[in-house]
Amino acid sequence: MLDATERRIVAACEALMDDTLALTRDLVRGYSVLGQEHGALDTMEACLERLDLPATRVPLDAPGFAEHPHRAPTEWDNAGRYNLVSRLNPEAEGPHLVFNGHLDVVPAEPTDMWTRPPWEPWERDGWLYGRGAGDMKAGIAAMVMAVAAVRRAGATIDFPLTLQTVIEEECTGNGALACLHQGYGGDFVLIPEPFGAQIYSGQVGVLWFRMRLDGVPAHVLDTAAGRNAIETLQAYLPALKALETEINALPRPTPYEGHPHPFNLSIGRIEGGNWASSVPAHAVLEGRVGFPPGMAPDDAMERVREAIANRHAELDDDTPPPRVSFHGFRSEGHLVDLDTPGIRLLSACHEALLGEPPAHYLSTCTTDLRAFHVSGEINGTCYGPVAQRIHGVDECVEIASIRHVLTTYALFLHRWGQQATQQEPSA
């Protein structure tokens, strides 16, 4: 049930669809893995300029941010690293809406497994391919072009609105947190993560950990003279899998109690040794483990330490204990408050376009929604395109779903403005 202005907004979205896809492709070409985000940031800054939207660089090394209680420690220098923020009508009255999306992507190696190079976007059968096409550059293009569509349709955006395009979502969450630390918050946030046109209702806690084992190097003429760190490392894998089982057996908050296996372990990286004909003197394992909302990251860290220490005691093999450290994510989980005006408005926009209420999606991963939750308890949700093989080979995003997100976000913007003076959309 759309009025005349809303029908013009829908038509403007259709007219801007080619531009939305072009921006997505340009962002994919900027292969924005950790430390190489500047190409995508430059593309984004140029886009904001073309659309007559202000652009502010928000640094990740701002004064006081290193001491933020929720900031994840990093092993790299943050000098010169920044997010891009566009803030409209900051002095206006009314509830403040935030759109947030991350520009960084995970590495695509081994790239020879891809049909085409992952930084060269291509289309086939209604899907747009490339690293980050789904996670989440198409969503960023949709949220930015939604603003352009509302303006093109002659509707007014006269309420406080902030567009955030951030980095480090894939490893620390510090990008979004840096925005909030420097005052770029709001009352409600929408994030177009590629979980489809459904209301994101919760996410798990996530912890990254590292375990290093030291062996004794030796020449292969007498391997018994050394101690193979890589072989020793393998003896710890059952203990880590047992930890995953233990966490999944803990009492869970509603609605996770009905999920068969929400808290997943990933052994994501193993490195060791330095020469094929030498007994390896070291081995390093890096992993990720999920944990329930309500559990503190410190508690999850202690469980990892205990699992590894207990396994070392069981082995009783006179080896030195592994060194355990934590890097990257140490993020608590949380549940979305679904009974807020912002969620109800999004649901109404979805239903107006598709004729039925949206489904809800309970996540087994984490998103930048966590930053808004821990920094001021800002409510929000994720609602985005449909993607396949995110973090995998031949990642792709459904083009029709980009069109839907663009249109839903534009309609949401318009209706938010209409309701801004009538109700407070924050929790």
For 20-53, write each residue's pLDDT tens digit.
Answer: 999 999 999 999 999 999 999 999 999 999 999 9
Overall residue count recorded for the chain in this entry? 427
Q: Which CATH superfamily is domain 4-202+334-422 in?
A: Zn peptidases (3.40.630.10)
**DSSP H/E element including 210:** strand 205-214
pLDDT of residue 421: 56
pLDDT at position 313 over 60: yes
Domain locations in the chain as residue ranges: 4-202+334-422, 205-331
Helix residue ranges, H only, 254-335 = 297-315
The HSE-up count of residue 8 (CA atoms within 13 Å, CB side) is 11
Q: Please tell me the distance from the alpha carbon of residue 407 to that of residue 8, in angstroms, as a whole number.
A: 11
Distances (CA, A) of 353 to 190, 360, 404: 18, 17, 8
Q: How far apart are CA 166 and CA 102, in angstroms?
A: 5
pLDDT grade, residue 427 (50/70/90)? very low
pTM for the model stands at: 0.95
Assigned CATH topology for domain 205-331: Alpha-Beta Plaits (3.30.70)
What average pLDDT score do residues 54-74 get?
A: 96
- Tell me the C-alpha to C-alpha distance, in Å, between residue 200 and each of 2, 103, 183, 192, 336: 25, 20, 25, 10, 7
